[in-house]
Chains A and B, each alone.
Chain A
Amino acid sequence: MNLLRNIFLRREAGIAVMIVLFCIAVGAVKPQFLTLDSLRIILLLTPLIMIGAMGQMLVIVARHVDLSIGSMLGFSAMVTGMMFKFYPEIWWPVGFLVSIGIGAALGLLNGVLVTLFRLPAIIVTLGTLNLYRGLTYIVSNAKQIDRQFVPSALKSMSQTSPIFGIPWIIFISFGIGLLTYGFVMHTRVGRQIFALGSNPIAAPLRGIAVNKVTLLVFTISGALSGLAGILYASRWGFVNPSNTGSGFEFQVIAAVVIGGVSINGGVGTVLGTVLGVLLLGCVAAALPLLGIPGTTQSAIYGAVILIALLIDRTVRQQGIASLSRARA
């Protein structure tokens, strides 16, 4: 009983309940929503957001924010796509290394600007958001990488796998989730990210190398955006200099804040973020079924971010209230 109560008191339970209620509500109107087919659709919608959300979660926990992930995704996908196009003789899995490496380099640049010059991440990444997008146009000459250049082995990763025919990218995204869980819960550096986010003044006094941790967090965010970049090529089969990854940051931030990661830093769980991503996936999958046009998606993401912020604030206030009650 006590265990059950503890589970229900957790933040993640609320999100899980929201997912279930949402699915039941949509299922009541359109029964075909509650089938394995739509589960497949939902899961295929989420991998890119899931991977981006893991990086963004770390950044937000460290009390920063990374707005440039969409452009990092676009740039690394574009360079990888051009490698496929102009050097088709290169073994295609090398693309993963290229994409992740480029993403990591761009993320590192964000981190350097933030730590070296002590600038707020929001302004730096607003600048690099446009900078990286512009670079994407320049390297690609504003030309799209078409379907025939993306290796079919890469594209099939989004179609199927030997394991129950569940596409590889779903395994990859959940694998990244597990890795992130291990990283934040069971490594020293992972815990230091939380320490840094909950009290940036105390963190260096406890011997935490603040600059190194910040650099690491931005680099991870970049590397994961790079991974999402090559998976974009796998999922959609093309890379477009203007569309690929644009608006990605808003989806990811929406998922992360619904997942209960506090924008004040120091609070957040991998499970919550995963559930946040799944909730967004459910919403995105339900819209066309309910006959709501795709143009509403952006408005819904915005509303979701604001609602999640309100919930976060209420939870925080209750936490403070219960603390002061306990003290009195």
Chain B
Amino acid sequence: MSAIENPVVVSAREAAPPRPLWQVIVIRPETMTLVLLILALFGASLLSPYFLDFGYILRSFTLSAEFAMVALVLTMVIIAGEIDLSPAANMALSACLFAFAQQAGIPMPIAIGIGLVAGLVMGAINAIMVIRLQIPSIIVTIGTLTLYRGIAQVIAGDKSIRVPEWFIGVNNVLMAGIPVPVIIFLVMSIVLGLVLGTTIFGRQIYQIGTNEVAARHAGIRSQRIKMGLFLLMGLVSAAAGILTASRLGSVRYDLGLGGELQMVLMAMLGGTYIFGGRGTILGTFLAAWLLVIVSTGMTVANVLPAVQLVVLGVLLVVSIIATNAIYSRTQR
């Protein structure tokens, strides 16, 4: 029997029927994050009525806003098929350099510039090792994570470096009732979300992460784009480090220690696919709020920091399993 006589069978064999629209919209990792966020908010409000106060949540968010900003860029890096574990160490080193410079009498704007340039250089080192020299980003950034924090330790020693009184407390400055770090995070989410979701550049990031060889054959300058992402990562980490310095009022080498877990966790909880090519800024945005509510809720409920560490570790593993399951069921 030829194919012309029985076209229905052939087409059925070639393509699966399209999934109904509601499935495409509902069965997504971001939906999972949103549901969890609402559940967490509900649970937390049972725990303490403070959680119904929006200002309280905003103030709690300032504690993680720096990590959340970096997590947004990390999401793009992971979508492009790479990973960066060094941003928390980058934050520490650029904050140390910044604090050291302004303590040495360098005017504040130049000191901030030094911190940002340092972050950019650290991003460039990662980029050169990963892209020019083709060494896997996982192991490179484990190395630079140790190196950057080690250099921070050499610079700061065991002491803490103070920053001037007027520079402290950017987290207490309100604009339209919202703390400044949260505003920065919101603006970054919108800008990066638009870039990733609506521009050609953003689509190219997805293509690189899905199949880099194919992307290069399609004329996408994958190396240049990934280079740019690593540089952006360095710059944003440095800015986050300086913001943290302002929030804490002093800089120690262990600033943001262990932050890589929280950043990766935000990206993973938001449904970013660990093997690249899938994920959204919206997911990471929701996950950041989810994480803040969970950790603040645990602190309010007097959960020991150690137990919180366990919860974060378990959440990380569970969230990748769930994300993988959703993607393998629906988006093949």
Contacts and interface: CB of A to CB of B under 8 A. Distances in A.
A123 B85 CA distance: 10
Interface residues on B, range: 35 or more
B16 interface: no
A302 interface: yes
Interface residues on A, range: 35 or more
Contact of B139 (A65, A127, A241): A65
Interface string A304-327: 011001101100000000000000
B192 to A, nearest CB: 22
B183 interface: no
Nearest to B253: A295
A128 B313 contact: yes
Interface in B286-313: 304-313
B140 A124 contact: no
Contacts, number: 142
Nearest to B260: A126
B143 interface: yes
A130 B258 contact: yes
Contacts of A135: 306, 310
Given A123-B274, A298-B149, A299-B150, A137 B306 contact: yes
Interface string A97-141: 000000000000000010001111011101111111111111000
A123 B268 contact: yes
Given A127-B313, A134-B309, A138-B304, A305 B146 contact: yes
A128 B147 contact: no
A194 interface: no
Contacts of B305: 137
Contacts of B324: 117-119
Given A296-B150, A302-B145, A65 B138 contact: yes
A160 interface: no
A146 to B, nearest CB: 20
Interface centre among A126, A128, A250, A293 (most CB of B within 10 A): A126
Contacts of B150: 296-303
A49 interface: no
B304 A309 contact: no
A319 to B, nearest CB: 14
A159 interface: no
A297 B304 CA distance: 31
Interface in A201-232: none
Nearest to B315: A127
Contacts of B153: 295-296, 298-299
B112 to A, nearest CB: 24
A306 B304 contact: no
B176 interface: no
Given A130-B313, A299-B154, A309-B129, A123 B264 contact: yes
A301 B261 CA distance: 21
Interface in B75-95: 83, 85
A251 B191 CA distance: 40
Contacts of A312: 135
B167 interface: no
A309 B135 contact: yes
Contacts of B52: none
Interface centre among B140, B306, B311 (most CB of A within 10 A): B306
A263 B136 contact: yes
Contacts of B157: 293, 295
A118 B261 CA distance: 20
A132 B317 CA distance: 13
B314 interface: yes
A257 interface: yes
Nearest to B275: A120
A196 B154 CA distance: 40
Given A138-B307, A300-B150, A305-B142, A131 B135 contact: no
B313 A313 contact: no
A156 interface: no
Contacts of A120: 274-275
B316 A126 contact: yes
A247 to B, nearest CB: 8
B274 A119 contact: yes
B146 A250 contact: yes
B215 interface: no
Interface in A136-173: 136-138, 142
Contacts of B140: 306, 309
A131 B320 contact: no
Contacts of A297: 150
Contacts of B149: 298, 302
B317 A302 contact: no
B204 interface: no
Contacts of B310: 130-131, 134-135, 138
B220 interface: no
A128 B317 contact: yes
Contacts of B147: 299, 301-303, 305-306
B135 A263 contact: yes
B151 interface: yes
17 contacts: A118-B324, A120-B275, A126-B260, A130-B309, A130-B312, A131-B310, A134-B308, A134-B313, A250-B142, A253-B142, A293-B154, A298-B153, A299-B147, A302-B143, A305-B139, A306-B140, A306-B143
The 5 closest A-B pairs by CB, nearest first: A302-B147, A299-B150, A137-B306, A131-B313, A134-B309
